[in-house]
Amino acid sequence: MAIQVQNSQSATQAYSMPSRCIYCVAPLLFLLLSCSTVRLPSDVTTSGDTITTPVRYSIVFVIHGDGKYRYHDTVGGSHQADEMALDSAHEIAAQNPQAEAFIFHERRRPGFLRRLITRRDGAFYYYRQGKLLAAESYRRYRKSERFDAAVNLYNQFRAPSELDQTRLFFYFGHEIPEFGGAGYDASHPRETFTVDDLAGGVEQWSRGAGRFDILVLATCYGGTPHTIAGLSPYARYIVASPENLHLSYFDLQPFKQLHLHLTRDSAHAFAEQFARHAFLRLTTEVQTAVTVALYDVDRVASYVTAVDSMYQRVISHREEPAPLLRLPIDCAEEPLFTRPDMHEGVTLFYRPPQFGRARSKRDHSGWECPAL
Amino acid sequence: MLKYCILAVVLSLFALGQTSHAQDMDGIQKYLNDMAVSVKAADDPAEKRAILDRSFDAMARALDKVEQSPMISSDDRAGINLYRASLQENRDELAGVNGFDRVPDVRLDAFADYSVQSLEQAAEKTITISLVAALLIVIILILIV
C-alpha cells in the first residue's frame, strides 16, 4: 500500500507567493515565520515522502512545558525537563522505522509583544518511518476542549489503523490535579486542567483505534486510584509513579527499535521491562524516593472501582488549593482505602528515600491516596 | 540602607523584565545546587560538612529576614515556614539530632544531592513562594555569603 504524505499548510505556503509582492511583505513574512515555526532537531529534515510499509506502531507524546520545569543534575548542570523529554521523544520517533509518532509540545504562551503577531503556544511534530514529515505550531486554547487542536492535527496526519497495530501514549508534565486544576499552565492561569481533561484527550486519540496498549504517565503522583480509573477505559497497561517522579523523568531507551521487542501480545512484559529500566535509571541519579508502578488495567478494576467513590468524596471536599503540608500518602496507610485486593494487577518497583524520615519505609502498596 | 538596596534591586529586576514567575525558585535552587557542587569538590569530610552547615545556616537566616519584610504576603510566609521546616530537617539529619542518625561522612555527597532534589520536588508540590519573596531570599543570600 502506498501512502502519499503531504506536509500541512503552515510555512510552506508562504514560499509560493508571487515574487513582485515579496519585497513589500518580506519583513512581515519574516516575523510571521519566525513566530510560527518550531525548533527542528538537528539530525532530521522535513519533506514529503512516499511510504510503502505499514505502520505497526502508533505513538503519541504530549509534553507539557508551560510551567516550572528547570532542574539541576548531580554535576551542577541546569536543564529544562520538558526540553529533555522532547529530545527523547524525537529520538524515539526517529529510531522506529515501522512507527508513526505524534509529538505535541505545550509551550509557554508568547510574551506580550510576540502575542500581537502570534498566539501559537503548541509545537507539533509528525514522524513516519523515522522521518520527520511535518513540524508546525498551533494554538492550544483556540478550541473549547484542551486537546481539540492537537487531536485535529492527529486526525489530519494519522495513517489508517493497521490490524494488530501497537499503540503507545506518553504524557510528560507536572502532577495533574484530580480536582480544580486552575493554574496548571503558568501562562494560562485561568484555564483548568485535571485528570478528567487528560482522559478526555486520550479518549479522542483512541477513538476508532481502540485502547492504547501502553500509556506512560510521566508525572508526580500519577498512581492514584482516581487517575488510573479515569484513564482505564483508554489503555490496557499504565506505567506511572504513585509518589514523586523526579523531573517527570522516565528513561525511554527501551522504546527505541520497537520492532525488535514489542508486539500487542508482549505489551505487558515490555511495559514491565520498561518500568524496571526506568526505576533502575532513577535510582542511580535520585536520592529521594523512587516509585514506578505498572498497572494491569483490567486486573486493578475491582480495587479502583471499590475505592473511587470514597476517594472522590475526599478530594472534592478539600479546600482549593489543597492545604499545605497535606501530602498524599500510601493508600495502605489509610484504612478507608485499604483492601485485600489492592495489590492485584500492580507490579511495583520501589526504593525509599535515602535520607529524611521516610527512609525507613520499606514497602509501598503502589497506590497513593489523599491524607484525611 | 539594606532595605533600600533590596527595594532598588527588586524594582530594577521588574523594570528590566529579567525574571518570570515560572522561574521564581530558580535562584534558590541555583544556590543549593552550587552548594552540592562545592560539597562534591571538597576532599575532606569535615570541609564537606562545613559547607553544608554554612549553606543551610545562611539560607535559614535569609528566610528569617524575608519573613519579617513588609513586602511579602501571608501566603509567602506560609511557604517560607514550610521551607524552613524542610531545611531544619536537613540540618537535624546532618547533625544527627531530633531522632536522626548523623549523615555518615561517606554519604555527604549524596546528602547534598538529596537536599537539592527534595527542594525541587517540594517546590512543585507544596512550597509556594512568590517572585518577590524568592528574589528577596536570593538577594539576602548574596549579601550574607
Contacting residues of B for A76, CB less than 8 Å apart = 33-34, 36-37
Query: What are the backbone angles phi and psi of residue A359, rounded to the nearest 5°?
Result: -70, -20
The pLDDT score that the predictor gives to residue A255 is 94
Task: Find chain B residues with C-beta within 8 A of A356's C-beta.
Answer: 89, 93, 114, 118
Confidence (pLDDT) at A12? 34
Q: Which residue of B has its CA nearest to A109?
A: B22
Does the pLDDT value for residue A166 go beyond 80? yes
Residue A28 has pLDDT above 50, yes or no: no
Give the range among A22-31, A69-78, A279-288 with minimum mean pLDDT.
A22-31
Instruction: Give yes or no for residue A72 having a pLDDT over 90.
Output: no
Q: What is the pLDDT of residue A222?
A: 96
Cβ distance of B25 and A356 shorter than 8 Å: no
The answer on pLDDT for A200 being more than 90 is yes
On the CB side of A246, CA atoms within 13 Å amount to 27
Question: By percentage, how much of chain A surpasses pLDDT 70?
Answer: 81
Q: What is the pLDDT of residue A161?
A: 73
Which residues have C-beta within 8 Å of that of residue B5, sequence separation ≥ 6?
B139, B143
Average pLDDT, stretch A46-60?
70
Q: Which one, of A324, A336, A326, lies nearest residue A367 by Cα?
A: A336
Q: Is B36 on the interface with A (CB under 8 A)?
A: yes
Residues A151-162 have pLDDT tens digits of 999 999 998 877
**Local confidence band at A114 (pLDDT 50, 70, 90 cut-offs):** low
Beta bridge partners of A329: A369
Task: Give the mean model confidence (pLDDT) for residues A323-332.
Answer: 76
Among chain A residues, the shortest Cα distance to B22 is held by: A68
CB atoms within 10 A of CB A273: 15
| pLDDT the model gives residue B122 | 75
A117-151 pLDDT, tens digit each: 667 899 999 999 999 999 999 998 876 778 999 99
Asked if residue A33 has pLDDT above 50, the reply is: no
- Is residue A116's pLDDT more than 80? no
Helix %, strand %, coil % for chain B, to 5?
Answer: 80, 0, 20
Contact yes or no for B114 and A353 at CB 8 A: yes
Dihedrals φ, ψ of A347, to 5°? -110, 120
For residue B117, what is the nearest residue in chain A, using CA coordinates?
Answer: A288
Of A221, A286, A355, the CB nearest to B93: A355
Residue B120 contacts A where some CB pair is shorter than 8 Å: yes
Q: What is the ipTM of this complex?
A: 0.80
**Per-residue model confidence as pLDDT tens digits over A253-289:** 999 988 888 988 999 999 999 999 999 999 998 999 9
Nearest CA of chain A to the CA of B10: how many Å? 21
Has residue A4 got a pLDDT over 50? no
Distance from CA of B1 to the nearest CA of A (A): 33
Is the Cβ pair A175, B36 closer than 8 Å? no
Q: pLDDT at position A118, please?
A: 67
Q: What is the pLDDT of residues A83-99, one digit of tens each?
A: 999 999 999 999 999 99
A369 — pLDDT class (breaks 50, 70, 90): very high
**Which grid coordinates are listed for B38?**
562545592
pTM: 0.83
Say what the pLDDT of residue A43 is: 42
Q: How many CB pairs under 8 A join A and B?
A: 82
Task: Tell me the per-residue pLDDT of B49-87, one tens digit each, with 9 for 90 and over.
Answer: 999 999 999 999 988 888 888 888 887 888 888 888 888
pLDDT of the residue at A315: 82
**Which of A203, A190, A219, A205 is closest to A150 using CA atoms?**
A205
B92 touches chain A (CB under 8 A): no
Query: Residues with Cβ < 8 Å from A189, sequence gap 6 or more?
Result: A182, A183
Mean pLDDT of chain A: 84
Q: Which residues of chain B have pLDDT under 70?
A: 1-25, 123-128, 145
Contacts 24+ apart (CB under 8 A), A135-142: A135/A37, A135/A38, A135/A40, A135/A46, A136/A8, A136/A10, A136/A11, A136/A36, A136/A37, A136/A38, A137/A10, A137/A35, A137/A36, A137/A37, A137/A38, A140/A106, A140/A188, A141/A188, A141/A191
| B76 interfacial to chain A (CB closer than 8 Å) | no
Q: In the prediction, which pLDDT does A52 show?
A: 55
* Residue A227 banded pLDDT, cuts 50, 70, 90: very high
**CA B79 to CA A323: how far, in whole Å?**
11
Label residue A3 by pLDDT band (50, 70, 90): very low
| Distance to chain B for A344, nearest Cα, Å | 29
DSSP letter for B46, please. H
Cβ distance A354 to B30 less than 8 Å, yes or no, reads no
Ramachandran category for residue B33: left, alpha or beta (phi over 0 → left; psi -120 to 50 → alpha): alpha
- pLDDT score of B86: 87
Q: Is pLDDT above 90 for A39?
A: no
Name chain B contacts of A353, Cβ cutoff 8 Å: 114, 118
Are the beta carbons of A174 and B124 separated by less than 8 Å?
Answer: yes
